[in-house]
Amino acid sequence: MLRYAPTYIADAETSLGYSRMAITNAYVSKFIKVLGHKAMSCSTNTVGMTIPMAIEAGLGQLGRNGLLITRKFGPAVRISKVLTSLPLIPDNPVDFGVTELCYSCKICSDKCPSKAIFPGKRTTEARNESNAPGVLKWPIDAERCMGQWSRIRKPCTICISVCPFNKPNNWFHTMVKMFVDRFRWGDPFYIKMDKVMGYGKPADAKEFWDKWQPQPARTDRVKMKR
Protein backbone atom coordinates (compact mmCIF):
# COMPACT_ATOMS: atom_id res chain seq x y z
CA MET A 1 0.00 0.00 0.00
CA LEU A 2 2.96 2.34 0.54
CA ARG A 3 3.66 2.15 -3.20
CA TYR A 4 0.65 4.42 -3.70
CA ALA A 5 2.16 7.34 -1.76
CA PRO A 6 1.25 10.12 -1.20
CA THR A 7 -2.42 9.08 -1.31
CA TYR A 8 -4.84 8.10 1.46
CA ILE A 9 -4.11 4.47 0.57
CA ALA A 10 -0.55 4.84 1.86
CA ASP A 11 -1.85 7.00 4.72
CA ALA A 12 -4.13 4.15 5.83
CA GLU A 13 -1.19 1.74 5.86
CA THR A 14 0.92 4.21 7.84
CA SER A 15 -1.81 4.67 10.44
CA LEU A 16 -2.35 0.91 10.65
CA GLY A 17 1.38 0.44 11.25
CA TYR A 18 1.36 2.92 14.12
CA SER A 19 -1.71 1.23 15.64
CA ARG A 20 -0.17 -2.24 15.46
CA MET A 21 3.05 -0.87 16.93
CA ALA A 22 1.26 0.57 19.97
CA ILE A 23 -0.77 -2.59 20.56
CA THR A 24 2.27 -4.87 20.23
CA ASN A 25 4.23 -2.67 22.61
CA ALA A 26 1.48 -2.96 25.21
CA TYR A 27 1.42 -6.77 24.85
CA VAL A 28 5.20 -7.08 25.19
CA SER A 29 5.26 -4.78 28.22
CA LYS A 30 2.50 -6.73 29.94
CA PHE A 31 4.21 -10.04 29.20
CA ILE A 32 7.47 -8.83 30.76
CA LYS A 33 5.61 -7.60 33.85
CA VAL A 34 3.93 -10.98 34.25
CA LEU A 35 7.43 -12.50 34.30
CA GLY A 36 8.16 -10.31 37.32
CA HIS A 37 10.25 -7.56 35.72
CA LYS A 38 9.71 -3.86 35.23
CA ALA A 39 8.61 -2.68 31.79
CA MET A 40 7.54 0.64 30.29
CA SER A 41 6.03 0.89 26.83
CA CYS A 42 7.54 3.68 24.71
CA SER A 43 5.95 3.72 21.27
CA THR A 44 7.07 7.30 20.53
CA ASN A 45 10.36 9.22 20.56
CA THR A 46 9.53 11.24 23.68
CA VAL A 47 11.60 9.02 26.02
CA GLY A 48 14.46 8.34 23.60
CA MET A 49 15.29 8.42 19.89
CA THR A 50 14.11 5.13 18.42
CA ILE A 51 16.22 4.94 15.26
CA PRO A 52 19.64 5.31 16.97
CA MET A 53 18.62 2.62 19.46
CA ALA A 54 17.48 0.33 16.63
CA ILE A 55 20.81 0.81 14.83
CA GLU A 56 22.75 -0.08 17.99
CA ALA A 57 20.50 -3.12 18.42
CA GLY A 58 21.41 -4.38 14.95
CA LEU A 59 17.96 -4.01 13.40
CA GLY A 60 19.31 -2.10 10.40
CA GLN A 61 21.33 0.87 9.16
CA LEU A 62 20.66 4.55 8.69
CA GLY A 63 19.69 5.55 5.15
CA ARG A 64 19.92 8.80 3.22
CA ASN A 65 16.23 9.37 3.96
CA GLY A 66 16.98 9.49 7.69
CA LEU A 67 15.10 6.25 8.32
CA LEU A 68 16.10 2.83 9.56
CA ILE A 69 16.80 0.53 6.60
CA THR A 70 16.23 -3.11 7.54
CA ARG A 71 17.58 -6.10 5.66
CA LYS A 72 14.19 -7.68 4.97
CA PHE A 73 11.72 -4.80 4.80
CA GLY A 74 13.88 -1.81 3.90
CA PRO A 75 12.48 1.41 5.43
CA ALA A 76 8.89 0.09 5.42
CA VAL A 77 8.84 -0.59 9.16
CA ARG A 78 7.50 1.02 12.33
CA ILE A 79 9.82 0.64 15.30
CA SER A 80 9.22 1.22 18.98
CA LYS A 81 10.77 0.22 22.27
CA VAL A 82 10.15 -1.14 25.73
CA LEU A 83 12.33 -0.03 28.65
CA THR A 84 12.74 -2.95 31.02
CA SER A 85 14.76 -4.47 33.82
CA LEU A 86 14.57 -7.88 32.11
CA PRO A 87 18.15 -9.18 31.65
CA LEU A 88 18.84 -9.49 27.93
CA ILE A 89 21.84 -10.29 25.75
CA PRO A 90 22.52 -7.21 23.56
CA ASP A 91 22.97 -7.52 19.81
CA ASN A 92 25.58 -5.66 17.76
CA PRO A 93 25.22 -3.15 14.90
CA VAL A 94 25.08 -4.66 11.41
CA ASP A 95 26.42 -3.65 8.00
CA PHE A 96 24.83 -5.01 4.82
CA GLY A 97 25.73 -2.24 2.39
CA VAL A 98 23.16 0.47 3.07
CA THR A 99 25.63 3.35 3.40
CA GLU A 100 27.48 2.51 0.20
CA LEU A 101 24.27 2.07 -1.80
CA CYS A 102 22.86 5.35 -0.49
CA TYR A 103 26.01 7.10 -1.72
CA SER A 104 25.26 5.90 -5.27
CA CYS A 105 21.49 6.26 -4.96
CA LYS A 106 19.70 9.59 -4.65
CA ILE A 107 16.22 8.40 -5.58
CA CYS A 108 14.63 9.48 -2.29
CA SER A 109 16.31 12.88 -2.51
CA ASP A 110 15.27 13.36 -6.13
CA LYS A 111 11.66 12.30 -5.47
CA CYS A 112 11.21 14.25 -2.21
CA PRO A 113 8.68 17.01 -3.06
CA SER A 114 9.92 19.28 -0.27
CA LYS A 115 13.64 18.71 -0.95
CA ALA A 116 14.10 17.76 2.70
CA ILE A 117 16.53 14.90 1.97
CA PHE A 118 20.19 15.90 1.73
CA PRO A 119 21.63 15.05 -1.74
CA GLY A 120 25.31 15.54 -0.82
CA LYS A 121 27.79 13.61 1.26
CA ARG A 122 27.30 12.70 4.90
CA THR A 123 28.22 15.37 7.43
CA THR A 124 28.30 15.91 11.18
CA GLU A 125 26.82 19.40 10.79
CA ALA A 126 23.15 20.14 11.42
CA ARG A 127 20.96 21.67 8.70
CA ASN A 128 18.68 23.35 11.25
CA GLU A 129 17.69 23.13 14.90
CA SER A 130 15.70 19.95 14.21
CA ASN A 131 18.95 17.98 13.72
CA ALA A 132 21.27 16.53 16.34
CA PRO A 133 24.83 17.44 15.27
CA GLY A 134 27.97 15.43 15.90
CA VAL A 135 26.93 12.22 14.11
CA LEU A 136 28.06 11.41 10.57
CA LYS A 137 24.84 11.13 8.56
CA TRP A 138 22.67 12.69 5.89
CA PRO A 139 20.80 15.38 7.89
CA ILE A 140 17.09 15.63 7.13
CA ASP A 141 15.37 19.00 6.97
CA ALA A 142 12.52 17.97 9.26
CA GLU A 143 10.84 21.38 8.99
CA ARG A 144 10.46 21.03 5.23
CA CYS A 145 9.34 17.42 5.63
CA MET A 146 6.61 18.24 8.14
CA GLY A 147 5.66 21.27 6.06
CA GLN A 148 4.91 18.91 3.18
CA TRP A 149 2.78 16.74 5.46
CA SER A 150 0.85 19.83 6.49
CA ARG A 151 0.27 20.91 2.89
CA ILE A 152 -1.08 17.56 1.71
CA ARG A 153 -2.79 16.88 5.09
CA LYS A 154 -1.43 13.34 5.39
CA PRO A 155 1.90 11.53 5.71
CA CYS A 156 3.99 11.75 2.53
CA THR A 157 6.00 8.46 2.70
CA ILE A 158 7.37 8.88 -0.84
CA CYS A 159 10.93 8.34 0.44
CA ILE A 160 9.81 4.96 1.78
CA SER A 161 7.96 3.77 -1.31
CA VAL A 162 10.77 4.61 -3.78
CA CYS A 163 13.65 3.20 -1.71
CA PRO A 164 15.49 0.36 -3.52
CA PHE A 165 15.56 -1.63 -0.28
CA ASN A 166 11.75 -1.63 -0.18
CA LYS A 167 11.05 -4.68 -2.34
CA PRO A 168 8.92 -7.84 -2.17
CA ASN A 169 10.58 -10.56 -0.15
CA ASN A 170 11.13 -13.07 -2.97
CA TRP A 171 14.15 -15.03 -4.22
CA PHE A 172 15.14 -12.49 -6.86
CA HIS A 173 15.27 -9.47 -4.56
CA THR A 174 16.89 -11.56 -1.85
CA MET A 175 19.65 -12.40 -4.33
CA VAL A 176 20.05 -8.72 -5.29
CA LYS A 177 20.37 -7.76 -1.62
CA MET A 178 23.11 -10.38 -1.29
CA PHE A 179 24.96 -8.74 -4.20
CA VAL A 180 24.51 -5.30 -2.60
CA ASP A 181 26.13 -6.65 0.55
CA ARG A 182 28.97 -8.66 -0.98
CA PHE A 183 29.75 -6.82 -4.21
CA ARG A 184 29.40 -3.17 -3.28
CA TRP A 185 31.43 -1.97 -6.25
CA GLY A 186 28.35 -2.74 -8.36
CA ASP A 187 26.06 -0.26 -6.55
CA PRO A 188 25.77 2.17 -9.53
CA PHE A 189 24.63 -0.75 -11.71
CA TYR A 190 22.07 -1.92 -9.14
CA ILE A 191 20.58 1.59 -8.96
CA LYS A 192 20.48 1.88 -12.75
CA MET A 193 18.60 -1.40 -13.05
CA ASP A 194 16.22 -0.32 -10.29
CA LYS A 195 15.30 2.73 -12.35
CA VAL A 196 15.04 0.72 -15.57
CA MET A 197 12.57 -1.64 -13.90
CA GLY A 198 10.48 1.37 -12.84
CA TYR A 199 10.65 0.76 -9.11
CA GLY A 200 11.34 4.42 -8.31
CA LYS A 201 7.89 5.52 -9.50
CA PRO A 202 4.86 5.69 -7.20
CA ALA A 203 2.08 3.35 -8.30
CA ASP A 204 -1.15 4.63 -9.83
CA ALA A 205 -3.89 4.70 -7.19
CA LYS A 206 -6.49 3.71 -9.78
CA GLU A 207 -4.82 0.31 -10.10
CA PHE A 208 -5.35 -0.29 -6.39
CA TRP A 209 -9.05 0.51 -6.47
CA ASP A 210 -9.60 -1.55 -9.62
CA LYS A 211 -8.45 -4.60 -7.67
CA TRP A 212 -11.08 -3.95 -5.03
CA GLN A 213 -14.04 -3.44 -7.37
CA PRO A 214 -16.73 -6.10 -6.97
CA GLN A 215 -16.71 -8.71 -9.71
CA PRO A 216 -19.82 -8.80 -11.95
CA ALA A 217 -22.28 -11.56 -11.16
CA ARG A 218 -22.28 -14.57 -13.43
CA THR A 219 -25.25 -14.57 -15.79
CA ASP A 220 -24.63 -17.84 -17.61
CA ARG A 221 -26.99 -20.64 -16.79
CA VAL A 222 -26.12 -24.26 -16.34
CA LYS A 223 -28.40 -26.53 -18.30
CA MET A 224 -29.44 -29.58 -16.42
CA LYS A 225 -30.40 -32.83 -18.15
CA ARG A 226 -33.34 -34.68 -16.74
Q: 176 is in which domain, residue-wise? A: 2-201
Does residue 220 lie in a domain region? no
Does residue 212 lie in a domain region? no
Does residue 214 lie in a domain region? no
Q: How many domains does the chain have?
A: 1
Per-residue pLDDT of the chain (226 residues; tens, 9 = 90+): 888 878 888 888 888 888 899 899 999 999 999 999 999 988 777 788 899 999 999 999 999 999 999 999 999 998 889 999 999 999 999 999 999 999 999 999 999 999 999 999 999 998 888 888 898 999 999 899 989 888 888 888 889 989 999 888 889 989 999 999 999 999 999 999 988 888 877 778 887 877 766 666 555 544 545 4
Does residue 219 lie in a domain region? no
Does residue 48 lie in a domain region? yes
Q: What is the pTM of this model?
A: 0.83
Does residue 155 lie in a domain region? yes
SS (H, E, C) the chain: CHHHCCCHHHHHHHHHHHHHHHHHHHHHHHHHHHCCCCEEEECCCCCCCHHHHHHHCCCCEECCCCCEEECCCECCCCCCEEEECCCCCCCCCCCCCHHHHHHHCCHHHHHCCCCCCCCCCCECCCCCCCCCCCCCECCCCHHHHHHHHHHHCCCCCHHHHCCCCCCCCCHHHHHHHHHHHHCHHHHHHHHHHHHHCCCCCCCCHHHHHHHCCCCCCCCCCCCCCC
